[in-house]
Amino acid sequence: MSDTVQNYVPGEYPDQPPPIGQRGIMLWLKTNLFSSWINTLMTLFSIYLLYLIVPPLLNWTVFDAVINATSRAECREIDTGACWAFIANRINILTYGFYPDESQWRVNLSFVLLIAALVPVLFDNVPFRKFGLIYAVAYPFIAGWLLLGGLGLEPVGTDEFGGMMLNTIVGVTGITFSLPLGIALALGRQSHLPIVRTVSICFIEFIRGVPLITLLFVASTMLNYFLPPGTTFDLLLRVLIMVTLFASGYIAEVVRGGLQSIPNGQYEAANSMGLKYWQSMRLVILPQALKVSIPGIVNTFIGLFKDTTLVLIIGLLDVLGIGRSSLADTKWNGLSNEVYISIAIFFFIACFGMSRYSIYLEGKLEKGHKR
């Protein structure tokens, strides 16, 4: 009796835990899933939706999937799910296209060097960033030498480029060259010179008004007519030019948004310091405007990278083009879902990564403006 009843001095009564419904998992469930009858209904609906989608998907992709097989018939004999053996069989061509096997180390090396060039550009807290930036500027030339050959390396024609490598080349080149062009166009659109402004507006609106695919058709069918007779241009180079022009139109609009967000006082202040037009742009306006437009620029780049798949329509074999043409193989007939889903995962990783980076940047920039 004496050990069950305890008397406490007022104020020293030990804290009791909250009721079971007010803490931990129960509280979370209650507020997030069952807060009202409509919420409960939605939870049940979601669970039903997940039940419909997730188990069959997991079965197909993982539990019933086949990794080792030599043909579709063999896959079907083993199990009913996805036949990943096909992808394993084609992974080399999906990655490198028709690049000669013995030279594939060059592609790998340029990819590693690309990452090394990207790090100092993307993050400003890495050591020796200045040298890294100089190297990043030199990178396109190094990569061009590595991929195309010459100067001691076996030359490889651009018609042998393909697969994910081609997507990466088109994407990275487009991104690198469209940024300066886009900035120039944005400045042209904001210019006080009526002719320069009109030309910039016409170019930007034209580019943004037509689908990329028509521009690629122009590159593949029409562009030769516009060049001096007798000159021929590499198809990949023509595509690169078109993709760059296309992306620059979109970048220009993003940068224009940034320029318009800069208050007039900044322009006036730069003028009153006696800075010339280019000096005021370089030192005062652009650093601020570009900072504001970085998330938009990254979004344009994501769009550009996704659009690199369109080159398959004019006959370049990018990763999707190779995947699609490999479906015609009679041994592996009818495995389109496997091929397209693997390629979708590749693009998802690349683009989701970029969009996460853009969110990280947005957070960082916001901090810069908070006091």
Partner 1 sequence: MSTTTADLDADSRSAISKLWHNREARSVILQILTMALLIGFFAFIISNAVSNLAAVGKTFSYDFLGEPASYDINQTLIDYTSRDTHLRAGLVGLLNTGLVAICGVILATILGFILGIFRLSPNYLLNRISYAFVEFTRNVPVLLHILLIHGIVVHSLPHPKIAKDDFNIGDMFFLSNRGVYAPKPIMEDLFWFVIIAFFIGIAFTLWFRKYARKVQDATGKIYPVFWIGMAAIFGFPVIVYLVTGTPLTWDAPVFGRFNFQGGMVILPEFMALWLALSLYTAAFIAEIVRAGILSVSHGQWEAAAALGIRRGRILNLVIIPQALRVIVPPLTSQYLNLTKNSSLAIAIGYMDIVATLGGISLMQTGKEMETMLLVIAVYLSISLLISAFMNWYNQRIKLVER
Q: Is 239 in the site for partner 1 (CB under 8 A)?
A: no
Residue number with CB closer to partner 1 (213 or 283): 213
Which member of 80, 92, 108, 214 binds partner 1 (CB under 8 A)? 214
Distance CA 47, CA 124 (A): 44
Distance CA 58, CA 276 (A): 63
Chain centroid to Cα 221, Å, comes to: 28
Q: What angle do CA 249, 252, 258 make, to 5 degrees?
A: 155
Identify which range of 1-9, 12-20, 47-55, 100-108 contacts partner 1 by CB under 8 A: 47-55
Q: How far is CA 282 from CA 67, 279, 289, in A?
A: 56, 5, 11
Which member of 21, 22, 30, 42 binds partner 1 (CB under 8 A)? 42
Which member of 26, 52, 213, 273 binds partner 1 (CB under 8 A)? 213
> In this structure, is the dihedral angle defined by the CA atoms of residues 144, 145, 146 and 148, taken in order, positive or negative?
positive
Which member of 55, 56, 211, 315 binds partner 1 (CB under 8 A)? 211
Output the smallest distance, CB 111 to partner 1, in A.
Answer: 20
Q: Where are the alpha helices (DSSP H) in the chain?
A: 24-32, 37-58, 72-78, 85-96, 104-122, 129-148, 163-189, 194-209, 212-217, 223-226, 235-260, 264-272, 277-280, 286-307, 319-326, 336-369
Binding mask 298-337 for partner 1 (x = CB under 8 A): ----x---xx-xx-xx------x---x---------x-xx
Residue number with CB closer to partner 1 (142 or 365): 365
Q: Which of 309, 308, 296 is nearest to 354 (CA)?
A: 296
Which member of 113, 218, 241, 361 binds partner 1 (CB under 8 A)? 218
Identify which range of 84-92, 109-117, 221-229, 283-291 contacts partner 1 by CB under 8 A: 221-229
What tokens appear for 337 in the block?
A: 């879902």
Q: Is 335 exposed, middle or buried (0-12, 13-18, 19+ CB in 10 A)?
A: buried
Residue number with CB closer to partner 1 (255 or 312): 312
344 three-class SS: helix
Among residue numbers 71 through 130, which ones bind partner 1 (CB under 8 A)?
none
Which member of 139, 161, 246, 347 binds partner 1 (CB under 8 A)? 347
Output the smallest distance, CB 33 to partner 1, in A.
Answer: 6
Which residues here bind partner 1, judged by CB under 8 A?
A: 31-33, 35, 39, 42-43, 45-47, 49-50, 192-196, 199, 205-206, 208-214, 217-218, 221-222, 224-229, 302, 306-307, 309-310, 312-313, 320, 324, 334, 336-337, 340-341, 343-344, 347-348, 351-352, 355
